[in-house]
Amino acid sequence: MTRRLLLISLCLGLAACDSSDTAALPLNLYECDAGEAALRHLITKLPDLNPGVAKSYAIVLGEINRDGMTPATDVFTGRFADLKLKFINAQNLKDIDPDHTIVDAETRLAAFVLQLRKLQSTSATTWDAEVGWSYKKEFGRLKLRIEVKDGKASVVSETTEAGN
């Protein structure tokens, strides 16, 4: 059984590396070096809203819709520990009235929701990504081009898609 799971995992990994694949990756494969590079870039672009007020950050994968959102795993979120920001699991977010502000359930302070909306391999060393953020009623969205050089994924271009 273990061998079968390993074989399936390897096949999925190889399929994700296929340069002819033009579809977005399954959400469970977003938690990779390219996904991390996209989110780190997004974090550097966040505006300084409510200066001096403590904030929490939550990472979600894929689309956010009426059915909810897919939180990143704690292992993936742990990759950002060096940033010294308070990351929480998106499952610990709460919607509070009257204006439906998304908050950290523990502190009841507004949280930045960081979204890795789409991740697509375009070749063996390049990726296209769509990322977004929201904080209270503010939001922004970027399209990114990510390239792997010398084993390190980094953003090589960005286009602002939306925001206020």
Q: Rounded to whole angstroms, how far apart are CA atoms 32 and 25?
A: 11
Whole-number pLDDT of residue 64: 84
Q: Rounded to whole angstroms, how far apart are CA atoms 90 and 113?
A: 8
Q: Are 112 and 100 in contact (CB under 8 A)?
A: no
- Residue 23 binned pLDDT confidence (cut-offs 50, 70, 90): low
Q: Are 156 and 146 in contact (CB under 8 A)?
A: yes
Whole-number pLDDT of residue 97: 85
Peptide bond into 98 cis (omega under 30): yes
Domain extent, residue 104, equals 2-163
Give the phi and the psi of residue 90 in degrees, each rounded to 5: -60, -20
Q: Report whether pLDDT(11) > 90.
A: no
> What's the domain count of the chain?
1
Q: Report whether pLDDT(160) > 80.
A: yes
Q: Report whether pLDDT(98) > 60.
A: yes
Q: Report whether pLDDT(155) > 60.
A: yes
Residue-wise pLDDT tens digits, 67-93:
788 999 999 999 999 999 999 999 999
